């Protein structure tokens, strides 16, 4: 069955026996439109692999697993974090302060492994492509562990 519309699947990878990400497990995203994969790449989820329920937003790094939707009013090309003062280029907010956005150039080497405070970091070129692809359309987001 082909799922209509646009959606992004963020796979933070399975957790190992001690709660960490096992060697060889890579955090990735795939963007889909009408059943066709249009873009994919590595991402960085939250440090510590701390998965929290919706509504449980502690002050430490954490992920939210589940189904979300990109906020149509919070797609911001040149956003700067109000909390940390750091650039979050091509931000697509999907849950409160959690967004899919470009990583800083010096952090590209961390893509594929946990490295953020809770956002989903993507390579700068991929973040720009995702941002342009999303446009003003409805975009669903699924954050999973597989």
Question: pLDDT tens-digit profile of 39-49?
Answer: 999 999 988 76
Q: Is the pLDDT of residue 20 over 70?
A: no
40 belongs to a structural domain: yes
- Give residues with Cβ within 8 angstroms of 51, minimum separation 6: 62, 63, 64, 65, 145
Give 30-77 pLDDT, tens digit per residue.
999 999 999 999 999 988 767 777 777 767 777 889 999 999 999 999
CATH code, 137: 2.40.440.10
43 belongs to a structural domain: yes
Please report which confidence band the pLDDT of residue 21 belongs to, taking 50, 70 and 90 as the band edges.
low
Average of pLDDT values for 90-114? 93
- C-alpha 48/C-alpha 122 separation (Å) is 18
Task: Tell me how far CA of residue 118 lies from CA of 52, 98, 137, 143, in angstroms.
Answer: 10, 6, 24, 12
- C-alpha 54/C-alpha 67 separation (Å) is 10
Can you give the residue range of the structural domain that contains 139? Answer: 6-144
Q: What separation, in Å, do the N-terminal and C-terminal C-alpha atoms of the chain show?
A: 21
Domain count, the chain: 1
1 belongs to a structural domain: no
């Amino acid at each position: 069955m082909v799922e209509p519309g646009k959606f992004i699947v963020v796979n933070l990878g399975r957790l190992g026996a001690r709660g960490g990400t096992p060697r060889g497990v890579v955090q990735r995203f795939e963007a889909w439109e009408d059943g066709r994969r249009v873009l994919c790449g590595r991402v960085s989820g939250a440090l510590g692999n701390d998965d929290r329920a919706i509504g449980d937003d502690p002050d430490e790094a954490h992920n939210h697993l589940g189904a979300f939707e990109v906020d149509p009013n919070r797609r911001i090309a040149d956003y700067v974090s109000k909390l940390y003062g750091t650039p979050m280029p091509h931000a697509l907010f999907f849950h409160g302060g959690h967004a899919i956005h470009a990583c800083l150039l010096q952090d590209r080497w961390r893509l594929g492994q946990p490295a953020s405070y809770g956002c989903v970091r993507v390579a700068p070129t991929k973040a720009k492509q995702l941002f342009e692809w999303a446009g003003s359309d409805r975009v669903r987001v699924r954050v999973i562990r597989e």
